[in-house]
Structures are given as structure tokens and as C-alpha cells.
Amino acid sequence: MLVIEDKIKLLPYWFKSIGIGVAILSLIVNFSLDIWEISIDRYYTILVLILGLILVSLSAEKFEDEMFKQIRTNSIFYAFFAGILAHFVLVFLNFWVGGSIEDHSSLHMTLWMLGIYLGTFHSSKNRLKILNSIED
Amino acid sequence: MKNTIKVERAILDLTQEELAKKIGVSRQTISSIEKNRYVPSTVLSLKMSKLFDKPVNAFFSLTEED
């Protein structure tokens, strides 16, 4: 019998700190490339940033319950369609403006989708917290 | 959907934190349910029903918007 149930298993909360650390480290290295002219391909720093954001995205909240899973689902929905929209914009630019889509565009697209997902999730969570505290 | 969770909680003299602990959710979720910002699942509603010793429709009711 097919049962539709919540099968999403997330990493423990402390993985979020590791993810944030990795993301911050990659951003520092990314900015250092310009200042000290280190010869590392920016591709790798973006890759590490994505890895950090994936860890943050896949980490559970301190108290992950059904409401947070609902907020997560809504955020995934927005991130998915924002990704499709961005893809169409890139294709449009490619067709009308000319030139080919960059080799790194898949990385930027992933970064964009993760950004939308994390941004939506955290802003919804914080907005709810603020609104609830105002009315309490 | 509207609810009278706050009233039921007051009858049992429970804080949001205590109710949250008893049914295994966060305090934020209880607060959101009370303010009609989140509609809980059937499982969570039944947990509250068991705790309040009342049927679910005694504290949840549909509005015209539903």
C-alpha cells in the first residue's frame, strides 16, 4: 500500500554551524583572491560556498516540527520556480543579447536556488516569530 | 479555520511552552496555531483533543472562508 508520509530526514542542528563556517570561510577566501592575488580558480570557492549552504539547508532546526516542515516545503516551492525563472531569463539573454551562457552558470543557478530557499525559509520563520511576539 | 486553543489551555492552566512540550511541538507552533497562522495536522489536532479531553471540533471550527 502506498502511504504518503514525511520521508524527509534532516541532518542534526549542529551541522548548521559547520555549514555557516564553511560558507563564511569560502567568502573570506573569495575576497582574499582579489586582495592578495592568490591563484585559486573562483570556481572552487563558489563550490565550497555551495557546499556550506547545502549543509545549512539540510540541517534541522533546534526544534523541527510540522510547522517548520511546512515552511520548508513552501520555501522549496519558491526556490524551485525561482530557479526555472532564472533559467528562462538566462536563455532569453542568451538568445536576444547574444553570447553563450557561461560555463559556471549551473553553479550560479544552484547558488541562486539555495539563496532563495534559505532566504524564504529564514524570513518566514523570523516574520512569524516577530508577529507572534507582538501579539502575545 | 478558527480555534479556542488559548481558552482550552487556560482551563488546564498550561503555558504555551508546557502545552508545546506535552504534544511534542515548539512554542512557536502553539503560538501560530492560536493566532490562526498555522493549521495543524490531524495527528497534532488529535493529540490536543486527547489532552483537552474534548473532540477536535470542540476547539476547531470552520469559518466562511473555508
**Per-residue confidence (pLDDT) for residue B7, from 0 to 100:** 95
> Nearest-CA distance from B21 to chain A in Å?
11
Instruction: Please provide the distance, in angstroms rounded to a whole number, between the alpha carbons at the two ends of chain A.
Output: 44
> Which pLDDT does position A4 carry in this prediction?
77
Q: Which residues contact B6 (CB under 8 A, 6 or more apart)?
A: B34
For chain A, give the number of residues: 136
Tell me if A63 and B26 make a contact (CB, 8 A cut-off): yes
pLDDT digits (tens, 9 = 90+) for A87-126: 888 888 888 877 666 656 788 899 999 999 999 999 999 9
The DSSP bridge partners found for residue A59 are: A11
The percent of residues above 90 in pLDDT, for chain A, comes to: 57
Residue A51 contacts residue A99 (beta carbons within 8 Å): no
Q: Note the helical H segments in A37-65.
A: 42-57
B39 touches chain A (CB under 8 A): no
- pLDDT, residue A33, reads 79
Secondary structure letter of residue A59 according to DSSP: B
Q: Does residue A16 register a pLDDT over 70?
A: yes
| B28 touching chain A per CB within 8 A | yes
Residue B30: pLDDT above 80?
yes
Q: How confident is the model at residue A8 (pLDDT cuts 50, 70, 90)?
A: confident
- State chain B's mean pLDDT as an integer: 94
Mean pLDDT of B30-43: 94
Mean pLDDT for A16-20 is 97
Report the complex ipTM.
0.90
Res. A52: pLDDT tops 70 = yes
Structural domains for chain B: 2-59 (1.10.260.40)
Instruction: Calculate mean pLDDT across residues A28-48.
Output: 83
Give mean pLDDT, residues B36-53. Answer: 95
Share of chain B above pLDDT 90, in %: 92
A63 in reach of chain B (CB within 8 A): yes
On chain B, the residues whose CB falls within 8 A of the CB of A74 are none
